[in-house]
């Protein structure tokens, strides 16, 4: 029981760090820049970049203080993130997983539109239109990497010590779902699925680059589809075709993750 409480405590600690940074942004930075509350208004991608960089910096400070209070000597803060090398074959495999999640996301988005549930589509449109396309793509690389450093590299690695791996993976999946709240319940459900993919892939690969590759492939391909019109053109696809696409991609992601988890290192 103690180990599970420590897991929850670690998640709450670093979530509190992020919440403090967001509050500082909303109360001090936003009145100066006038972009809007965090996650809304203008330059959403830049807002996320600023908050994530500050969160990583403050987390490093909290990490140091935490182990000083506990009178323990931990590995270096950057050492826990797992920036070990990833082989080319694994890199390509992660890109394919990211692209599959893009197609799943797009299919679900357009299915929801057909049933007059625009929350996921509206959030994507708002994010896409908040900055220039060049800034958006750069952000899709940098901000995605920073997000995964925060959620997987810091939170997950601190929480998963001395407990069966499923529970911290469930924890990070739920945290990712909460962060996706502006996109509505369906975006949160997709966030849970993505969290499980990230968690199992990361534990097996032991490299933060694996999940960063998945996340970057997902975000860059989604916004690129929007830019060239493919995402909007999916509104003309029949409902049954969208359902088939979503089911096939979901099965592929499930099978791919299980296969990667079970394969020998």
Give the tens place of pLDDT for each residue, 1-45.
Answer: 888 999 999 999 999 999 999 999 999 998 988 888 887 778 888
User: Which has the closest alpha carbon to 96: 226, 234, 223, 255?
Assistant: 255
Mean pLDDT confidence for 175-194: 86
- Give the range with max mean pLDDT: 16-25, 75-84, 109-118, 178-187: 16-25
pLDDT of residue 206: 87
Lowest mean pLDDT among 15-19, 117-121, 242-246: 117-121
Flag whether the pTM goes above 0.85. yes
Spans of all domains in the chain: 2-262
Q: What is the mean pLDDT of residues 147-157?
A: 94
Q: What is the average pLDDT across 65-83?
A: 86
pLDDT interval class at 265 (50, 70, 90): low
| CA atoms within 13 A of residue 154's CA, in its CB half-sphere | 28
How many whole angstroms separate alpha carbon 107 and alpha carbon 102? 9
pLDDT band for position 187 (cuts 50, 70, 90)? confident
**The tokens of 233 are what?**
């053109």
By 3-state DSSP, what share of the chain in percent is helix, strand and coil, each rounded to 5?
Answer: 80, 0, 20
The arithmetic mean of pLDDT across residues 177-194, rounded, is 85
């Amino acid at each position: 029981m103690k180990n599970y409480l420590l897991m929850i405590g670690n998640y709450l600690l670093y979530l509190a760090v992020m919440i403090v940074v967001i509050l500082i942004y909303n109360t001090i930075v936003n009145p100066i820049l006038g972009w809007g509350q965090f996650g809304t208004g203008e330059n959403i991608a830049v807002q996320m970049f600023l908050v994530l960089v500050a969160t990583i910096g403050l987390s490093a400070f909290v990490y140091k203080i935490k182990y000083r209070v506990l009178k323990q000597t931990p590995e270096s803060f950057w050492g826990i993130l797992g920036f070990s090398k990833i082989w080319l074959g694994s890199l390509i495999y992660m890109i394919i997983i990211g692209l599959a999640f893009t197609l799943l996301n797009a299919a679900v988005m357009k299915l929801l539109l057909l049933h007059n549930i625009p929350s996921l589509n509206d959030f994507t449109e708002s994010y896409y239109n908040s900055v220039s396309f060049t800034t958006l793509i750069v952000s899709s690389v940098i901000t995605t990497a920073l997000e995964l450093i925060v959620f997987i590299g810091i939170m997950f690695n601190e929480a998963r010590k001395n407990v069966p791996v499923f529970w911290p993976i469930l924890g990070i999946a739920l945290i990712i779902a909460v962060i996706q709240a502006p996109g509505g319940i369906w975006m949160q459900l997709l966030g849970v699925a993505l969290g499980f993919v990230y968690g199992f892939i990361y534990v097996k690969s032991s490299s933060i680059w694996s999940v960063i590759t998945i996340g970057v492939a997902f975000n860059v391909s989604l916004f690129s589809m929007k830019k060239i019109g493919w995402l909007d053109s999916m509104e003309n696809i029949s409902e049954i075709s969208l359902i088939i696409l979503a089911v096939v991609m979901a099965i592929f992601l499930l099978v791919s993750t299980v296969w990667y988890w079970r394969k020998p290192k």
